[in-house]
Structure 1
Amino acid sequence: MTKFDTFYNYSKGKAWDKYGKSWNVAYATGGDCNFAGQCVSLVKTYLLYLYGNKVKDSYGDAKDYWYGRKYNGILDLFNEASDLKNGDIVVSTGSDARYGHIFIYKDGQAFTQNCCNNPKASMYPLSWQGTITGILRPKVLISNFDLIPEHRIAKVKPDHEINIRVDNPVGRIVRTAKTGTEIEYTEKCVCYGHRYISWIENGKRLFMAVTPTEKQKDHWVDISSVKSKFKGVDISNYQPNFDFVKAKKDIDFAILRCGFATTEDLSFMRHIKEAKKAGVDIRAIYLFTYALNMNEVLAEADFAVECAKKAGLPKSTVIFFDMEGASIEYAKKQGINLTSSDVQKFTRAFMDRVKSHGYKTGYYTNLDWSKNKYNGFKKKSDELFWFARYNANPELTYDVLQYTSSGSVNGNPGPLDMNYWVTSKPSKPAEKPKEVWDKNAIVKVGSTVKSTSCSIAVVPGTNSAFRNNCVYIPALGGLVPLEDVTEAADTRDGKNDDVISTLASRVYLNPSKVTAVNAQLNLCMVNGYWVNAEPLMVKK
């Protein structure tokens, strides 16, 4: 349901005053009831519903909404329109030209007050509303056909925080995008003093302004190409019988738990074997930590590397460090209170140790831990960030996104942890310079030529050529009519009684060099054959 539909259902059948208050009146009134039941009062109520405290106390009489639009501020909230769409405000003139008339368009009719002496907001035929003089479209009513498709990534620039709003560009603020936040958006629009990006999240349309004005400059974000996503699962002994053969239909990769602390996951080697048999890419493994100190972290890193070697995984495999609430609780039971500083030191030590063995590495966490445990943690450029963020556009830049814990894939009903592994789209290869060919150029020795038609026919193995229904035979002094060709001599042996019984099929010449030219007969030698020069194109 659109914002206008909500307003319509809320306001119909009631008489509204200019402050958005309903009155029980039998007819449209003036000052005593703040102009309750007047057509302009319904529109004012509509504005208050759409814009709240951004609405001025008065924009004038009904006709002033259009005729005074250049100076009364109404264009701060509206765009001029030439066609009618639901939710548009329409100004018209009728029998009373002093004040004009104003109504809201809906489904081919007028939603208005003070029509036929009825003060209550009701639907009436358009033909009863007089002559339309202007149409104003609320800037907040951005519908799908007003949005411009664009699927890209917006990254908030340093020293910027941008409000994210729901339903429309000036709707309720739901959160703030801070410096470095990446938003994958699917549409954009220009309205209400800004350029906006938009996307759907949890079934809601969200908007974020990206420029201080409606002009295409001074962006608050950096725009980049959307990243390709590869879909995969992460599994452990909680899914001991995972069917990789069936799952391959739905996934591109798998991340397998190799163990926890220095204990191997009971299903690890089975998962390795079955994934390889099915041809599923084992792109990473992870180890869940229960380390209490630095020595134990290093021992866990060494253990994870040994698991990778045992499984025959290449050095390109990523070994992730997974530290979560259960790790902290275990430490507490041992009388150790691990702080955020410990979390970061353990993570750094694990990753550095794994890299010293030649494997790639990274770490896993969620939004809460990224704020409270990993705040300020610096990931190196060769390390990966595996981010758990469900049902939302992630606020952080990630390499792997765990987007749900309740997924399923073919042959495996779940619940499963599902992930996207992202990579930048390959850059578009540089285009080769376009070749320029001229069909009117003069063919010379050394010219590169090609044919664009099939009008060339040659006699294989000879220096004879077909042209204008004649065959060029040097031994006979030039062109011989086609009807005489069966009696003509073939220059291969110079015997006058030789018969040229076959002409080559019509051919297409690939770019080739001209080695000789007979300008008198308009022929040129290409690949050992004399051919007609007229249909050839010359490379400039």
Structure 2
Amino acid sequence: MTLKFKKIAGLLMGALAAFTFATNASAAKTKIADVSQYQGSINWSKASKQLKFAIIRVQHGDTGDADFRIDTQKDINANGAYKYKVPFGQYGYAEFSSVADAKKEAKDFYKRSSSKARFYVLDNEHRKGKGSEQSYVNAWLAQMRKLTNKPLVYYSYQNYVNVHKINYSKFDGSWIANYSAKPNVSTDLWQYTSKGSLSGISGNVDLSKVVDSSTVNSWLKTSSADAAKPTYFTSLPSDKEVTASKNIYQYHDVNFKTRVSKITAGKKLSVKSITRSNGGAYRFQLTNGNYITANKAYVTD
């Protein structure tokens, strides 16, 4: 064998080895874990070698709840996942007790979440209010729709869904826990154990399995596509008119604390300026002085 042929053969073998290693590494990324401060300090370099994606806790309840806490590891985990190229979503454990409380909890959850999250999850498993649990879930969803175009996912456990007869069909997918068998309610992602193991974590971790790969994969789309099509109008239309594409409300203040009246879908509205709420969301100010959302999912020019 000539020296030149040996070199070529060596290069080919090296390329084949690299391809095999990359393929095996990719194939190893099969685990889906949800994590919080209870997993302690995660070695994301190690965890990334097994994770298809992660779901990271942001908060437990909200201000006013006796056991409210912001997850102490939320930013560390989000930054670690991002650094080691692990796609991730974020979840908030809900303790809302009214429609107004659900809306506030959604706003606070969104504000505390990482901008790098691919999707957001409502963790709905704690019944507090005396009203309709469905109305609280709907209010959380509607508020989040005003804040983001990223996928919104419903999480609970099988029995909770059945007992409270929760309809989560308007979410972009579902994630249901049941440890004895596959859930008997509709689910796209199945949390099947709380005693899983993952490299980089000492102790147990919740693990999930994909049920509907098409839906779950849609949660993981990169944010570059979202950046090409902004969620909000950031400037006034040339004719200073917008049309409500869905039923919306007008508010007396830019932070949407004082509701004035409902605006039905299809109504044309004259706007005089564009501004932002304290949380950074864009708003149109109407010629009558009131404010409406500038979210493109709700108004068109």
TM-score (norm 1): 0.31
Give, in angstroms, the shift of residue 271 of structure 1: 0.6
Give, in angstroms, the shift of residue 287 of structure 1: 0.6
Matched to 1:372, the amino acid is V
Counterpart position of 2:54 = 254
Separation in structure 1 between the aligned mates of residue 195 and residue 56 of structure 2, nearest angstrom? 17
Give, in angstroms, the shift of residue 394 of structure 1: 2.7
Give, in angstroms, the shift of residue 306 of structure 1: 1.1
Question: Are 2:157 and 1:366 equivalent residues in the alignment?
Answer: yes
Question: Are 2:105 and 1:320 equivalent residues in the alignment?
Answer: no
SS at match of 2:174: strand
SS at match of 1:364: strand
Correspondence list, 1:270-309, <5 A? 270-282=76-88, 284-308=89-113
> Which of 183, 186, 208 is the matching residue for 1:419?
208
1:399/1:423 contact within 8 Å kept = yes
Correspondence list, 1:193-272, <5 A? 231-262=31-62, 263-272=69-78
Separation in structure 2 between the aligned mates of residue 417 and residue 280 of structure 1, nearest angstrom? 17
Separation in structure 2 between the aligned mates of residue 376 and residue 306 of structure 1, nearest angstrom? 26
Counterpart position of 1:344 = 134
Counterpart position of 1:395 = 184
Give, in angstroms, the shift of residue 376 of structure 1: 5.6
Give, in angstroms, the shift of residue 411 of structure 1: 2.9
2:30/2:50 contact within 8 Å kept = no
Separation in structure 2 between the aligned mates of residue 376 and residue 239 of structure 1, nearest angstrom? 30
Separation in structure 2 between the aligned mates of residue 397 and residue 352 of structure 1, nearest angstrom? 21
1:354/1:360 contact within 8 Å kept = no
Matched to 2:172, the amino acid is E
Matched to 1:313, the amino acid is K
Structure 1: runs of 5+ lacking an equivalent? 1-228, 332-337, 427-540
Correspondence list, 1:429-448, <5 A? none
Matched to 2:136, the amino acid is F
Structure 2: runs of 5+ lacking an equivalent? 1-28, 63-68, 216-301
RMSD: 2.3
List structure 1 runs of 4+ shifted beyond 4 angstroms. Answer: none
1:230/1:421 contact within 8 Å kept = no
SS at match of 1:352: helix
Separation in structure 2 between the aligned mates of residue 345 and residue 294 of structure 1, nearest angstrom? 7
Separation in structure 2 between the aligned mates of residue 376 and residue 270 of structure 1, nearest angstrom? 33
**Which deviations, in whole Å up to 9, do the C-alpha atoms of 1:290-344 show, x marking residues without a partner?**
2222211111101121123xx2225xx22111122xx33xx4xxxxxx35x6221
Separation in structure 2 between the aligned mates of residue 265 and residue 352 of structure 1, nearest angstrom? 24
**Which deviations, in whole Å up to 9, do the C-alpha atoms of 1:239-272 show, x marking residues without a partner?**
1212221112221110001112334211100111
Give, in angstroms, the shift of residue 364 of structure 1: 1.1
Give, in angstroms, the shift of residue 362 of structure 1: 2.1
1:230/1:422 contact within 8 Å kept = no
Counterpart position of 1:356 = 146
Q: 1:356 to 1:290 in 2, by over 3 A?
A: same
> Which structure features the higher share of helix residues?
2
Q: Between the two proteins, what is the percent identity of the paired residues?
A: 24
Separation in structure 2 between the aligned mates of residue 376 and residue 305 of structure 1, nearest angstrom? 22
Q: Indicate the structure (1 or 2) with the bigger Cα radius of gyration.
A: 1
**Which deviations, in whole Å up to 9, do the C-alpha atoms of 1:64-102 show, x marking residues without a partner?**
xxxxxxxxxxxxxxxxxxxxxxxxxxxxxxxxxxxxxxx
Matched to 2:35, the amino acid is I
> Which structure features the higher share of strand residues?
1
**Which deviations, in whole Å up to 9, do the C-alpha atoms of 1:192-234 show, x marking residues without a partner?**
xxxxxxxxxxxxxxxxxxxxxxxxxxxxxxxxxxxxx953110
Q: 1:376 to 1:302 in 2, by over 3 A?
A: closer
SS at match of 1:275: helix
Provide the aligned length of Structure 1 versus Structure 2: 180
Separation in structure 2 between the aligned mates of residue 288 and residue 394 of structure 1, nearest angstrom? 20
1:236/1:256 contact within 8 Å kept = yes
SS at match of 1:404: strand
2:182/2:192 contact within 8 Å kept = no
SS at match of 1:305: helix
More RCO (CA 8 Å, sep 6+): 2
